[in-house]
Amino acid sequence: MTKVRFAPSPTGKLHVGNVRTAIFNYLFARKAGGTFVLRIDDTDVERSTQAFEDGIRADLTWLGISWDETFKQSERFDRYAAAAEKLKAKGLLYPCYETGDELDRKRRLQMANGRPPVYDRAALALSEAEKAAFEAEGRKPHWRFKLSGNPVEWDDMVRGHVSIETSSLSDPILIREDGSYLYTLPSVVDDIEADITHIIRGEDHTTNSGAQIEIFEALGGTPPLFGHQALLVGADGGKLSKRTGSLGIADLRDVDGLEPMAIMSLLARIGTSDPVDAFADVDGILEGFDLGKLSRSPARFDDEELKRVNAKLLHGMPYAVAKPRLVELGADKGEAVWEAVRPNLETLADVKAWAALIDGPVTPVIEDADYAAAAAEHLPDGELTGDSWSAWTNALKDATGRKGKMLFMPLRQMLTGEERGPEMAVLLPLIGREKILKRLAGEAA
């Protein structure tokens, strides 16, 4: 049974970068008929908040990402302690007493001598008396995992064959001086005990995976299969991290008014061999989803492209789907109005502005009073229909000699006060004869 997990830390809000990882895991699980786990990585008890956790769950739910299982790391400290003791008993987790300043000086000296800043394992040579002396002066140890020094290899679902030389890595710190856990040990323990079969995450974790595989094996677990996708960059190829404040999911929803499926559609497709498209539901994305289509090159996130996908999604949205949302917005004017304005929507909230062209009051823009009078005179008699616009403009063309933009643009400005908008043939019967004549007379109606 395929089982994957998304493991956000509740120390901040979700943004497009980490949501893309959530989307890949969710789609991978659904495609395989497997299990998607939401794991809350809240071992940083000082920075983790319930508000951020609630926000993560709300954002995922809004996107349509549901989880089959969920748990919090803060409720499992006893399991991590047991794993740490197991590693200590094997001689693979050892205490180190260097301070942060001392470690920093070592790294600078190594780099000054042209050597990589890899931890020198000096702590392994400490005698019990030396350890006791450090303890006596008030030092508390941090604990490092002893890497084998051998290459760790695996076939990555995105990157292909990967080999990490652990001899070139510092032994990772698993436990801080204050006894709190860094990400690595709790993550491995949870992946083993939750029976995670695949880990899909950003390529910035590739080196970490080499160390984690050794911890999996040291704890008697079987390492999952790994897939490390390229990270997102901006449209210009620059780092996205500087802009994630404005690319948080909550802001894309609440400030920009974007559709969840627009975000899902774009993030699932950029950086793949498939073209970006607007999908109305997850099933459409799933049909062609394959991690093997992911490029190893960074995926460029363009918020303008996201807006275009959002607009395309709205342009194809049936009224029955839109209606509940329109009711919430107080913008439900019926199916005819929706059909009239949706080709011009960029966000759903735009319905209000375009519907106002129908309901009024609209202040007409009249630059030629004689043309306005001629337009009123030649407005077709009887009930206005979808054919009335063509009949009207043909009559005006014959009467005034106007054609093209000089014929159509003044009419739009007189009736809507705007230079662009929904098709006039559709708007005309919705505005109605009474308001049309008032607007042609220069009245706000």
Q: Within a domain: residue 384? A: yes
How many domains does the structure of the chain reveal?
A: 5
97 shares its domain with 166: yes
- Does position 357 have pLDDT exceeding 80, yes or no? yes
| pLDDT, the chain, mean | 95
52 shares its domain with 193: yes
Q: Within a domain: residue 12? A: yes
252 shares its domain with 217: no
pLDDT digits (tens, 9 = 90+) for 224-272: 999 999 999 988 888 875 555 568 999 999 999 999 999 999 999 999 9
Q: Within a domain: residue 109? A: yes
Taking residue 190's Cβ as centre, other Cβ atoms within 10 Å add up to 20
298 shares its domain with 382: no
- Does position 425 have pLDDT exceeding 70, yes or no? yes
Q: Within a domain: residue 247? A: yes
Q: What gap in Å lies between CA 319 and CA 280, rounded to an integer?
A: 13
Q: What gap in Å lies between CA 304 and CA 312, rounded to an integer?
A: 13
Q: Within a domain: residue 209? A: yes
8 A C-beta contact, residue 96 and residue 142: yes
86 shares its domain with 170: yes
pLDDT value for 237 = 86
- Residue 274's identity, in one-letter code, is D
CA atoms within 13 A on the CB side of 238: 5
pTM comes to 0.92
170 shares its domain with 221: no
CA atoms within 13 A on the CB side of 399: 17
Q: What gap in Å lies between CA 195 and CA 296, rounded to an integer?
A: 28
pLDDT value for 245 = 54
Taking residue 291's Cβ as centre, other Cβ atoms within 10 Å add up to 17
153 shares its domain with 201: no
pLDDT value for 241 = 59
pLDDT value for 224 = 98
pLDDT digits (tens, 9 = 90+) for 21-52: 999 999 999 999 999 999 999 999 899 999 99
Taking residue 42's Cβ as centre, other Cβ atoms within 10 Å add up to 21
308 shares its domain with 326: no
434 shares its domain with 302: no
Q: Within a domain: residue 445? A: no
Phi first, then psi, for residue 154 (nearest 5°) are -160, 160
Q: What gap in Å lies between CA 284 and CA 345, rounded to an integer?
A: 22
Q: Within a domain: residue 377? A: yes
211 shares its domain with 247: no
pLDDT value for 199 = 98
End residue of a domain, out of 315, 331, 351: 315
3-class secondary-structure state, position 37: strand
- Does position 286 have pLDDT exceeding 70, yes or no? yes
| Continuous H helices in 226-275 | 249-254, 260-269
84 shares its domain with 170: yes
272 shares its domain with 414: no
Residue 197 sits in a domain whose CATH number is 3.40.50.620
Phi first, then psi, for residue 162 (nearest 5°) are -125, 140
Q: Within a domain: residue 364? A: no
Residue 93 sits in a domain whose CATH number is 3.90.800.10
pLDDT average, residue stretch 183-202? 98
Quote the percentage of the chain above a pLDDT of 70: 99
Range of the domain at 329: 319-359
